[in-house]
Amino acid sequence: RGRGRGTFLVILTMLLGALNFNTSRLREAESILREALGSASTTLGDDHPDILQVRQMLGASLLEQGRYAEADKVLTEALERWRSRGAPDAPNVIVVLTIRGEGRLYAGRLQQARDDFREAATAGEKMFGKVHTFVGIGLRAMARVDAERGQLALAETGMRNAIAAFGTKVRPTGYN
């Protein structure tokens, strides 16, 4: 209700793209998502939430294909557009930061990945409090980067904080 034909078609296309993505048909998902961006962004506008969701899914599809530079570009654009909507810490911003951080981690851009994960964890804490899944995911990802760098003590502290953020009984410590 209250949604026009353009929005309805974008949602159907997103679902089809998601189905292909979830069944590891990544090239098909990419093609469908690009088609949705091309046709629906003119109808709905580039900053429409449904279009931004398509950008997120396209970025994730590119990431899964190992096309890190392309994924980073698409995800950065989605992130900037979500932020321009006036909710810099909204859940979608946190999700895009986490996906982009994964791509940067896989591409060996460790500091940028850690920065994305930290920003996601901080935004999650600001929005939901210290004990929340978004916080735990960000902290756990930061710990992965620290372990990759060989900073094992920092990684251990990060994992303890992540466990605490997921709501389990571990005493958290300060995180950097």
Total number of residues shown for the chain: 176
Higher pLDDT, 74 or 51: 74
133-138: list long-range contacts, CB under 8 Å, 24+ apart. 133/165, 133/166, 134/91, 134/94, 135/165, 136/162, 136/163, 136/165, 136/166, 136/167, 137/98, 137/162, 138/94, 138/97, 138/98
Share of the chain above pLDDT 90, in %: 54
Q: What pLDDT shows up at residue 169?
A: 57
Strongest mean pLDDT among 12-21, 77-86, 163-172: 77-86
pLDDT at 110 over 90: yes
Measured between alpha carbons, how far is 154 from 158 in angstroms, rounded to an integer? Answer: 6
CA angle 17, 11, 15 (to 5 degrees): 30
Q: How confident is the model at residue 1 (pLDDT cuts 50, 70, 90)?
A: very low
Residue-level pLDDT at 102: 96
Asked if residue 91 has pLDDT above 50, the reply is yes
Mean pLDDT of 144-164: 95
| Contact status, residue 165 vs residue 142, Cβ threshold 8 Å | no
pLDDT of res. 47: 85
